[in-house]
Chain A
Amino acid sequence: MTEDIIIFTGSFGSGKTEIAINQSLAMLQKKERVILVDLDIVNPYFRTRDKREKLAEIGVEVIAPEGEFALADLPLISPEIKGSIQDTNRVLFIDVGGDEIGAKALASFYTVLKDTGYQLNMVINPYRPFTRNSEQIEVMLKDIESFSRLKINGLISNPNLEKQTDLNVIRKGHEIIRESAARLNLPIKYLTIEKSIYQKIGQQEFNEKIVLIQRFMELPWEEPETERNINKNGREPKD
């Protein structure tokens, strides 16, 4: 199975965009060419394309609707996406829109992806309204698979209540993902914890791999950490 096409799907607001940005930046340490595709046809705000310039400066190529359509609330799919899938000289991350509706956009690449292979991950935050237990998660997973025509081959556990996240919140939420993994017979690829929260709760043992992430989509009243975060994680800007 290909390791260089990594797709993030999941319910609306499950954390796909943040994880996709974090994983693309981490990949820069290993691979020369990293492409991040913003395939979000659902969200009008908080999209990868909002961070495009900064990401490009660090070395992540972002593919998203451009120019006069970048800010439109239209379900646009960039023509470069298909080319980026067929290109082999790169690692490709695809950030898909939420729910089965968002996953529908993936179906347009079904014919290419079935030949190239892919890693299709479902990001789950059990504190989100429609993925609160393993029954609901199964319904969401089946819907995403049927709309995208692709098979999900791993779960990413992202249990959080943003600033109210503590160890108990992570443990209780992660347990639901474990139940789902057993029910669906799928691996948990990793558990994501926000770096600042991990520092607060101290080192913890989980059976699964832990991936620390940093938030990039800040709110206007929060300290603008984005630039610092990207510079810290990314490669030195090329001159």
Chain B
Amino acid sequence: MVDRLLMRGNEAIGEAAIHAGCRYYFGYPITPQSELIAYMAKRLLKIEGATFVQSESELAAINMVYGAAAAGGRVMTSSSSPGISLKQEGISYITCAELPCVIVNIMRGGPGLGSIQPAQGDYFQATKGGGHGDYHLIVLAPSTVQELADLTIKAFDLSDKYRNPAMILGDGLLGQMMEPVEFKEYDINSIPSKESWALGSSHGREARTIVPFNLDAGEMEKINNRLKQKYIDMQKEAECEVVNMDNPDIIVVAYGIVARIVKTAIQKAKKDGINIGLLRPITLYPFPSAVIRENVHKAKKILVTEMSMGQMVEDVELAACGKAEISFYGRTGGVVISPVEILEEVKKLLK
């Protein structure tokens, strides 16, 4: 048996979840993340006490997640863009009920049924709530297959810590590509106990209920205040990779797979005597505003690039507080940005 594995992104998420003690998975297949549900089926069915269900729909899956989370299980669901839209009602309910779970979105071209190629058009949906009401998900944006695995484990931990759903926001390319992965030691006994709040047998204790509502306006406001406090506390979890920030001519801000493409552009630009700095948000919520704010003054020009029409760019603008000139370059529909395109855009801005 070999220790390192060559894994597809979707498989790495599945293995990481199992490694982190996830024993409940509910989902419905959709390209380009179907390998994840297939992987969970193969693996979980062989683990005693684990549950895998390919549900009849995305709505059913997210409500199964809701139930398993209320019972105190480490639980995950996954889908791709249109399927994530279907799950939004359930996600809003789970957040109101303050339950931990991990939701994976391997994004594809949108809107609508869109295309099956990679995209990043669900940033707003992921980071600003997505469903109804005042809430946020913890949103993590990996850019390698190894990071997909590492951040999946982290998503479970953060989700438990704040009793709030966490989302892995990847794209089709990251889900489909293969890279070597290693799984570090993880102590399942370190998972925080859920006995003080989870449902189950009420034998020998008061019966409990977990509900996503309170019909008394004042009491419902208290829930909102409690959620708000959590989002304030969460800000300390913000993470951002800072690359090549020694006297850059221009700073590019990108997340996920696009950040990797930017890294190739950085190397190409060096040959032309251009120094490109890169800020790569790893957490999209909480957004690493402080790191962005501390760095934007280091270059005259800032370029935000995404596989969308411009979504994260709004958070960069807020973080920069008008202290920098911010431009945007994006491709959509499933078209993947090339390093050459980014370099051309950089040259245009530096003219």
Q: Indicate whether A and B interact.
A: yes
Q: Is the CB of B178 within 8 A of A13?
A: yes
Stretch in A56-64, A87-95, A123-131 with 4+ CB within 8 Å of B:
A123-131
- Known pairs A44-B116, A162-B178, A164-B180; A127 contacts B264 (CB<8 A): no
Asked if B336 is at the interface (CB within 8 A of a chain A CB), the reply is yes
Within 8 A of A (CB), among B165-181: 172-173, 176-180
Q: Is the CB of B4 within 8 A of A127?
A: yes
Asked if B260 is at the interface (CB within 8 A of a chain A CB), the reply is yes
Q: Is the CB of A132 within 8 A of B2?
A: yes
Q: State the Cβ distance, A11 to closest chain B Cβ, in Å.
A: 11
List of A residues within 8 angstroms of B7 by Cβ: 128-129
Task: For the complex, give the distance between the alpha carbons of A176 and B117 in Å.
Answer: 36
Q: Is the CB of B264 within 8 A of A126?
A: no
Size bin of chain A's contact surface: 20 to 34
List of B residues within 8 angstroms of A71 by Cβ: 115-116
Asked if A33 is at the interface (CB within 8 A of a chain B CB), the reply is no
Q: State the Cβ distance, A186 to closest chain B Cβ, in Å.
A: 21
Within 8 A of A (CB), among B311-351: 336-339
Asked if B5 is at the interface (CB within 8 A of a chain A CB), the reply is yes
Asked if A219 is at the interface (CB within 8 A of a chain B CB), the reply is yes
- Known pairs A129-B5, A161-B6; A44 contacts B176 (CB<8 A): yes
Q: Which of A44, A132, A160, A164 contacts B31 (CB 8 A)?
A: A44
List of A residues within 8 angstroms of B177 by Cβ: 46, 219
- Known pairs A45-B173, A73-B31; A161 contacts B180 (CB<8 A): yes
Interface string of B1-44 (1 = CB under 8 A from A): 11011111001000100000000000000011001000100100
Interface-centre pick from A127, A162, A164, A222 (highest chain B CB count, 10 A): A127
- Known pairs A161-B180, A173-B2; A220 contacts B261 (CB<8 A): yes
Interface string of A207-239 (1 = CB under 8 A from B): 000000000000111100000000000000000
Q: State the Cβ distance, A80 to closest chain B Cβ, in Å.
A: 24
* Chain B binding surface, main DSSP class: mixed
Asked if A172 is at the interface (CB within 8 A of a chain B CB), the reply is yes
Asked if A133 is at the interface (CB within 8 A of a chain B CB), the reply is yes
Q: Is the CB of A161 within 8 A of B4?
A: yes
Asked if A12 is at the interface (CB within 8 A of a chain B CB), the reply is yes
Q: Is the CB of A127 within 8 A of B42?
A: no
Tally of A-B Cβ pairs under 8 angstroms: 73
List of A residues within 8 angstroms of B293 by Cβ: none
- Known pairs A128-B5, A132-B2; A220 contacts B176 (CB<8 A): no
Q: Is the CB of B5 within 8 A of A127?
A: yes
Task: For the complex, give the distance between the alpha carbons of A34 and B31 in Å.
Answer: 32
List of B residues within 8 angstroms of A73 by Cβ: 31, 116
Asked if B230 is at the interface (CB within 8 A of a chain A CB), the reply is no
Q: Is the CB of B5 within 8 A of A221?
A: no
Q: Is the CB of A44 within 8 A of B336?
A: no
List of B residues within 8 angstroms of A220 by Cβ: 173, 257, 261, 336-339
Q: Which of A43, A126, A130 contacts B42 (CB 8 A)?
A: A130
Asked if B263 is at the interface (CB within 8 A of a chain A CB), the reply is yes
Closest chain B residue to A219, Cβ basis? B177
List of A residues within 8 angstroms of B31 by Cβ: 44, 73
Task: For the complex, give the distance between the alpha carbons of A125 and B5 in Å.
Answer: 10
List of B residues within 8 angstroms of A176 by Cβ: 2
Closest chain B residue to A161, Cβ basis? B180
Q: State the Cβ distance, B14 to closest chain A Cβ, in Å.
A: 9
List of B residues within 8 angstroms of A130 by Cβ: 42
Q: State the Cβ distance, B349 to closest chain A Cβ, in Å.
A: 21
Within 8 A of B (CB), among A169-203: 169, 172-173, 176
List of A residues within 8 angstroms of B4 by Cβ: 127, 161, 164, 169
Q: Is the CB of B339 within 8 A of A221?
A: yes
Task: For the complex, give the distance between the alpha carbons of A164 and B173 in Å.
Answer: 20
Interface string of A1-20 (1 = CB under 8 A from B): 00000000000110000000
Q: Is the CB of B178 within 8 A of A129?
A: no
Task: For the complex, give the distance between the alpha carbons of A125 and B4 in Å.
Answer: 12
Q: Is the CB of A162 within 8 A of B180?
A: yes
Closest chain B residue to A175, Cβ basis? B2
Q: Is the CB of A45 within 8 A of B172?
A: yes
Q: State the Cβ distance, B278 to closest chain A Cβ, in Å.
A: 12
- Known pairs A12-B35, A162-B6, A220-B173; A133 contacts B1 (CB<8 A): yes
Task: For the complex, give the distance between the alpha carbons of A160 and B177 in Å.
Answer: 15
Closest 4 CB pairs of A and B: A221-B264, A73-B31, A161-B180, A127-B6
Interface residues of A (CB under 8 A from B): 12-13, 43-46, 71, 73, 125-130, 132-133, 160-164, 169, 172-173, 176, 219-222
A-B contact pairs, 27 of them (CB 8 A): A13-B178, A43-B176, A44-B32, A44-B116, A44-B172, A45-B117, A46-B176, A46-B177, A73-B31, A73-B116, A128-B6, A130-B42, A132-B5, A133-B1, A161-B4, A161-B180, A162-B180, A163-B180, A164-B4, A169-B4, A172-B2, A173-B2, A176-B2, A219-B173, A221-B264, A221-B339, A222-B264
Interface residues of B (CB under 8 A from A): 1-2, 4-8, 11, 15, 31-32, 35, 39, 42, 115-117, 172-173, 176-180, 257, 260-261, 263-264, 336-339
